[in-house]
Structure 1
């Protein structure tokens, strides 16, 4: 299931940085955040290919990133609108192709939360857990009125290379430094990201997997190979299927696998896919949800074991035994 963007995207306003709306100032471990995803690069190292649309594990790179920041109050993608797996807001730097700082400023105009997660659209292994890890230090320290509080948290890879587009920031700090850079240079167009990050007080977290980005076809090949490894392929496949079918359901896949194993071993091999299908159908009839799936799975698994018990020698002799007269 994909979301089709509006045919006439909102046009960006003046290219000068905006102070933005007043943030809500909410704090705590569940304080709201917004997300800005930069997806409008030229992808020169991929020969100009539409990189956000390249599929890894059956899902577009952009959709994988959008899934990781699904808890954002507002998600803004800075790029030309396209079909996505979930609705987002669209923004564009003026002029298009003006570079990451101009794109970030365009996205920030649509945000209101105290905290903003800034991401590139080429992160195949980013997940919701990593986004929460980035936000946690900012949420714990509260609003940025304390001089000791960091302005943001970013990931580094195994070699210590910083990833400013896999990061969480205080929105106010971003707007402040973007305005200062625009005042100094006349515009943000063409300025590198390091001009922003060197002006901020940042905390760094090392994560060689979540920080992996796809700049080349070799990177794409490596990402595709990794998700097909034994330890990842099943979760990746289930996520891709749910995404394709528009299913937002978190179920115990371990219980379903146990059921499929029991049905295949205790009954017959074709019983496994048919039984799991019937479990899904029964769960839907019962209103859906993880509890309904779990209950149907337990019933079917118990039935498979009872079925197997009837095929044991003791069960056969018991079936022909005379009733107890005493």
Structure 2
């Protein structure tokens, strides 16, 4: 995975990520919340996609299959609460910045992670967290200077003979924090009603295509920026110039050609350009043949290889 690079230069904002995914999900009846699917993808996988730029991603939970490679950690004892889980995750990180996330954020994306890190770089603070639509702090949608939570967790562990059962506010109250507002990214899924609302939003017209492309890339193991407009234009040209079934078949062939050419966005663009040009040439031939006075090859006196009709 590629470390995040801020405008200040390569490597200046390298970060690790910690995802807390071991809660009991009591309001979901004890369901496996990180594995609940929204838009075809497990909630945990959606969060892992958002922090794909991390140098190391640590998931604090029992191991499970994930769409992206991670390190696994577990608080001792299991179920010891968020501070114990955060402490377990921090022990596996080395970057100067750490993004801390819960595993139930269906709308978190890389842009929010970038905003958190940019705000932290610019602020004289220990951390930056997101506030929700009601103005409430979300300390599990946050970025921290790693030494700050390490220091305070060590202090709390000494004062309380461990971290088990301590609430997150014991940590955040001791840190200098700044905030950004992002009601969408901070939306979390605590209940089945929340899950239903997230699934409904993803299927709204303005979101469904991007959500589907991201889900398909994760499912197929593809890490590639897709120019959706370019491929849709190609599909339209193939459908209109040739026949409707030509659209999906042509886009498949473009993908295959791009893979043979070594993959990457440039290979996709070049293959799409060639296919689009072919579709337009195909349509131009048909229009030329349909012009008044034009004679289709093989159908009249001007057809090559045939003699004029003697009448």
Residue 311 of structure 1: how far off its partner (Å): 2.5
- Name the residue aligned to 1:207: 182
CA distance in 2, matches of 1:153, 1:318: 73
- Name the residue aligned to 2:73: 91
Question: Gapped runs of 5+ residues in structure 1?
Answer: 1-25, 142-148
CA distance in 2, matches of 1:263, 1:55: 34
2:289 touches 2:295 (CA, 8 Å); kept in 1? no
In structure 2, do the counterparts of structure 1 residues 179 and 81 end up closer, same or farther at CA, with 3 Å as the change threshold?
A: same
Q: Secondary structure at the match of 2:194?
A: helix
**Please, which of 102, 112, 124 is the counterpart of residue 130 of structure 1?**
112
1:53 touches 1:62 (CA, 8 Å); kept in 2? yes
TM-score (norm 2): 0.89
1:28 touches 1:140 (CA, 8 Å); kept in 2? no
CA distance in 2, matches of 1:98, 1:32: 29
What's the RMSD between the two structures over aligned residues?
A: 1.8
- Name the residue aligned to 1:289: 264
Q: What per-residue deviation string (whole Å, max 9, x for no partner) do you get for residues 173-218 of structure 1? A: 1011111212221211101111111111111100010000000000
Residue 310 of structure 1: how far off its partner (Å): 2.2
- Name the residue aligned to 1:139: 121
Aligned residue pairs: how many? Answer: 290
**Please, which of 50, 54, 70 is the counterpart of residue 72 of structure 1?**
54
- Name the residue aligned to 1:262: 237
- Name the residue aligned to 2:132: 157
CA distance in 1, matches of 2:153, 2:223: 37
In structure 2, do the counterparts of structure 1 residues 318 and 127 end up closer, same or farther at CA, with 3 Å as the change threshold?
A: farther
- Name the residue aligned to 1:9: none
Q: Secondary structure at the match of 2:205?
A: coil
1:27 touches 1:139 (CA, 8 Å); kept in 2? no
Q: Secondary structure at the match of 1:118?
A: strand
Larger radius of gyration: 2
In structure 2, do the counterparts of structure 1 residues 307 and 27 end up closer, same or farther at CA, with 3 Å as the change threshold?
A: closer
Q: What per-residue deviation string (whole Å, max 9, x for no partner) do you get for residues 113-172 of structure 1? A: 11000000000111111101001122245xxxxxxx200000011110111000000111
Which stretch shows the higher mean deviation, 298-307 or 313-322? 313-322
CA distance in 2, matches of 1:27, 1:275: 39
In structure 2, do the counterparts of structure 1 residues 27 and 90 end up closer, same or farther at CA, with 3 Å as the change threshold?
A: farther
CA distance in 2, matches of 1:303, 1:274: 14
Q: Secondary structure at the match of 2:128?
A: strand
The higher relative CO (CA closer than 8 Å, separation ≥ 6) is in 1
Q: Secondary structure at the match of 1:37?
A: strand
- Name the residue aligned to 1:117: 99
Q: Secondary structure at the match of 1:312?
A: helix
CA distance in 1, matches of 2:88, 2:261: 46
- Name the residue aligned to 1:31: 13
Q: Secondary structure at the match of 2:286?
A: coil
**Please, which of 225, 228, 234 is the counterpart of residue 203 of structure 2?**
228
Residue 27 of structure 1: how far off its partner (Å): 10
Q: What per-residue deviation string (whole Å, max 9, x for no partner) do you get for residues 200-245 of structure 1? A: 1111100010000000000000111111111111111111111111
Q: What per-residue deviation string (whole Å, max 9, x for no partner) do you get for residues 54-78 of structure 1? A: 0111111001111111111111110
In structure 2, do the counterparts of structure 1 residues 254 and 183 end up closer, same or farther at CA, with 3 Å as the change threshold?
A: same
In structure 2, do the counterparts of structure 1 residues 131 and 205 end up closer, same or farther at CA, with 3 Å as the change threshold?
A: same
Determine whether 1:56 maps to 2:31: no
CA distance in 2, matches of 1:31, 1:313: 59
Residue 312 of structure 1: how far off its partner (Å): 2.4
